[in-house]
C-alpha cells in the first residue's frame, strides 16, 4: 500500500475517534473471515486508507451506511454488483473481501470466480443479471441505456434500480480510493522503522 498503515500507538487526536468507530464496526459478523487489521492492530483495506483522511472519512462513511441500508435488492444481487465493479476496475481488496461475503450470501464459488474474472455467470437469477448489467453499463460511462432502464423498472421496480445505482456509486468511489493507494488483498508488508 502506498500509504503507511497506522498502528494504534501512532494515532493522532483526529484519527483516534475514527479508529474507535472502525473498531466497533468490524466487530460485526459480516467482517469475519477476511483481514481488517494486521497483527499490530493497524487497519488494512479501506479503513487503513481512510484513517489518513478523517475529515473525509466521516461523510463518506455516512453515505456508505445509507447506501448499504437501501432496500429492494437481495444480498446475492448486491454482491453481484460489488464483484462486477471490483472486477471491472481490478480492485484487489474489494474482490478479496466480497468474494467471502458473496459466498456467505449464497453465490457459488464458480459464480464468484466468473464475476471476479470480469464475466457474468450464466446461472444468475433475473435480478442478479439485471443488477450486473446496470453496474457494468454505469461503469462504462454515459447514460444508462433506455431499454435496460425500462426493463429494470418493469421487472424489479424503481426502488431496486435506485439501490443498484447507489450501491454501484458506493463501490466505484471505494474502488477508486483503494486503487489510488494500491491497497492489496489482505495485509501489505510493513516497512521496518529505521532506528533513530
Percent of the chain with pLDDT over 90: 90
Residue bearing cell 433475473? 126
CA pseudo-torsion sign 55, 57, 60, 62? negative
**Average model confidence (pLDDT) for the chain?**
93
Q: Identify which of 56, 73, 65, 66 has the alpha carbon closest to the alpha carbon of residue 28.
A: 65
d(CA 163, CA 3): 32
- For the entire predicted model, the pTM comes to 0.91
Q: What is the Cα–Cα distance from 64 to 21, expressed in whole angstroms?
A: 14
Q: Quick check: helix, strand or coil at residue 43?
A: strand
pLDDT digits (tens, 9 = 90+) for 98-149: 999 999 999 999 999 999 999 999 999 999 999 999 999 999 999 999 999 9
pLDDT for 182-192, tens place per residue?
999 975 444 44
pLDDT tens digits for 26-75? 999 989 989 999 999 999 999 999 999 999 999 999 999 999 999 999 99
Distance CA 95, CA 91 (A): 6
Decide: helix, strand or coil at residue 196: coil
Q: Residue 194: pLDDT above 90?
A: no
Residue 159 has pLDDT above 60, yes or no: yes
Amino acid at each position: 500500500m502506498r500509504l503507511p498503515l497506522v498502528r494504534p500507538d501512532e494515532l493522532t487526536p483526529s484519527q483516534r475517534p475514527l479508529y474507535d468507530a472502525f473498531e466497533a464496526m468490524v466487530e460485526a459478523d459480516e467482517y469475519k473471515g477476511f483481514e481488517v487489521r494486521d497483527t499490530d492492530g493497524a487497519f488494512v483495506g479501506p479503513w487503513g486508507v481512510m484513517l489518513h483522511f478523517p475529515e473525509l472519512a466521516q461523510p463518506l462513511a455516512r453515505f456508505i451506511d445509507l447506501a448499504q441500508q437501501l432496500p429492494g435488492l437481495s444480498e446475492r444481487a448486491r454482491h453481484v454488483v460489488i464483484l462486477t465493479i471490483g472486477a471491472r476496475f481490478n480492485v484487489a481488496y474489494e474482490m478479496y473481501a466480497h468474494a467471502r461475503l458473496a459466498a456467505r450470501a449464497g453465490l457459488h464459488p464458480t459464480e464468484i470466480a466468473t464475476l471476479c474474472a470480469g464475466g457474468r455467470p450464466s446461472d444468475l437469477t433475473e435480478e442478479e443479471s439485471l443488477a450486473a448489467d446496470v453496474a457494468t453499463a454505469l461503469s462504462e460511462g454515459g447514460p444508462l441505456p433506455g431499454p435496460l432502464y425500462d426493463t429494470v423498472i418493469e421487472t424489479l421496480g424503481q426502488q431496486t434500480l435506485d439501490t443498484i445505482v447507489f450501491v454501484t456509486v458506493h463501490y466505484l468511489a471505494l474502488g477508486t480510493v483503494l486503487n489510488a493507494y494500491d491497497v492489496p488483498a489482505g495485509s501489505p508488508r510493513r516497512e521496518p522503522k529505521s532506528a533513530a
